């Protein structure tokens, strides 16, 4: 079954889904309850007096937990995600997007369908109007063509226009892409884009915080937009009116201290008004091509292979174990500390010292979730 049960007990998934169904719990309370009670199962098997020790928990919420009986919906969701190869990821799961952990309003549970991990070394969000001009479509296609072989994952909202253009271009150029949905995976919106699901899942992932049968109601789109912003190291707005989903996503990105960028347009062009306002108010940097994006993000302009070749020249000054670690990262890309210890003959204490030394030398970078990558 596609429940990531190898690293997360199925019983925990069962009770975690149950907790998510309780009205009023929300993301913050769910995380706090888990922190204070140790497991989702324990939350449901604790006495009310014990749950009262959880900060912020009132008697009404505790009553809802203790009296929860809607386990049929839990079973229904478990069956659906098993039948459709969907993985539920809770915020303490190793595959959960580490970038989301920095924000209090992030979900404590997401559902993922697809092959890509959600912790790429570099991510770039691309959003914009649902009715783009040919120039806007061409700009997105040219940008992603320039990003080919960069290893950058493209994040967007699976909507009409700029969003789906970014996803399709990523597939064409061999980049991972992550589509964030407003509703559940049974209710793909827009329905016309259902035909792209398989391709995206082969080259990336589709994710949502909604249970499978949840409809993409109007209020869920801003919630979706905050996830796009949080997952993106940098966010580019390509053609947007003064209001709308793209601007909401941009405001989230700005509040999260992300690198916000916008493609400028003509003053009289209503579909560029939002971009121009972001630039004029100095919330977003103006970008005209890929070189502007790389400069704004302070990313290396060459291919990753070129970068690795330069770093490999430094091998002569490294110990054998340091060389083996660098080689492993070059071959595997982003990996966890546990993977390194499992695959290389390096003790914990040795690895800690090596990580410090190689990080100071700029050869590797430490990422959220105890993961490493080439610097």
User: In the 3-class helix/strand/coil scheme, how is 23-38 assigned residue by residue?
Assistant: CCCHHHHHHHHHHHHC
CA distance 345 to 357: 18
Tokens representing residue 147 in the block? 């990003």
* The Cα angle at residue 173 between residues 290 and 247, in degrees rounded to 5: 50
**Over the chain (375 residues), what is each successive 10-residue block's mean pLDDT?**
56 96 92 90 93 90 94 96 95 90 89 90 96 96 94 96 97 96 96 95 95 95 97 97 96 95 93 96 96 90 46 61 82 81 81 81 76 78
**Which pLDDT score is estimated for 130?**
95
**Which pLDDT score is estimated for 307?**
45
**Which pLDDT score is estimated for 329?**
81
Residues in the chain: 375
Place of tokens 């492993």: 328
**Which pLDDT score is estimated for 35?**
87
Q: Are 34 and 8 in contact (CB under 8 A)?
A: no
Distance of CA 346 to the CA centre of its chain: 30
Q: Are 123 and 170 in contact (CB under 8 A)?
A: no
CA distance 187 to 183: 6
Q: Are 213 and 184 in contact (CB under 8 A)?
A: yes
Place of tokens 């940097």: 285
**What is this structure's pTM?**
0.79
Which of 14, 73, 13, 85 is CA-nearest to residue 213? 73
**Which pLDDT score is estimated for 6?**
43
Which of 199, 191, 3 is CA-nearest to residue 84? 3
Domains recognised in the chain with CATH numbers: 10-89 (1.10.150.20), 123-297 (3.40.50.450), 304-374 (1.10.10.10)
């Amino acid at each position: 079954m596609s429940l990531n049960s190898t690293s997360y007990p199925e019983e925990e998934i069962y009770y975690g889904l149950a907790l998510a169904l309780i009205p009023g719990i929300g993301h913050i309370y769910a995380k706090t309850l888990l922190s204070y009670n140790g497991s989702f199962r324990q939350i449901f098997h604790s006495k009310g007096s014990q749950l009262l020790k959880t900060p912020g928990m009132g008697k009404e919420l505790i009553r809802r937990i203790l009296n929860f009986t809607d386990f049929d919906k839990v079973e229904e969701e478990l069956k659906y995600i098993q039948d459709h190869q969907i993985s539920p990821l809770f915020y303490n799961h190793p595959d959960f997007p580490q970038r989301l952990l920095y924000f209090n309003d992030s979900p404590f549970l997401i559902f993922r369908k697809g092959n890509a991990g959600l912790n790429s070394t570099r991510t770039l969000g691309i959003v914009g109007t649902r009715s783009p001009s040919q120039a806007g479509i061409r700009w997105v296609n040219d940008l992603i063509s320039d990003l080919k072989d960069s290893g950058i994952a493209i994040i967007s909202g699976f909507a009409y226009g700029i969003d789906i253009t970014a996803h399709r271009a990523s597939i064409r150029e061999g980049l991972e892409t992550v589509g964030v949905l407003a509703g559940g995976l049974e209710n793909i919106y827009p329905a016309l884009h259902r035909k792209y699901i398989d391709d995206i899942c082969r080259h990336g992932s589709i994710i949502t915080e909604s249970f499978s049968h949840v409809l993409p109601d109007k209020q869920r789109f801003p919630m979706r937009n905050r996830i796009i912003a949080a997952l993106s190291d940098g966010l580019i707005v390509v053609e947007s009116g003064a209001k709308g989903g793209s601007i909401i996503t941009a405001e989230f990105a700005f509040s999260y201290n992300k690198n916000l960028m916008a493609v400028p347009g003509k003053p009289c062009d209503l579909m560029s008004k939002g971009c121009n306002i972001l630039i004029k108010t100095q919330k977003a940097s103006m970008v005209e091509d890929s070189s502007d994006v790389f400069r704004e993000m302070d990313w290396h302009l060459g291919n990753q292979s070129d970068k690795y070749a330069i770093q490999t020249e430094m091998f002569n000054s490294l110990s054998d174990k340091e060389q083996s670690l660098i080689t492993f990262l070059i071959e595997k890309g982003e990996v966890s500390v546990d993977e390194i210890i499992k695959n290389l003959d390096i003790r914990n204490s040795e690895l800690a010292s090596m990580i410090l030394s190689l990080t100071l030398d700029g050869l590797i970078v430490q990422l959220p979730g105890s993961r490493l990558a080439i610097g």
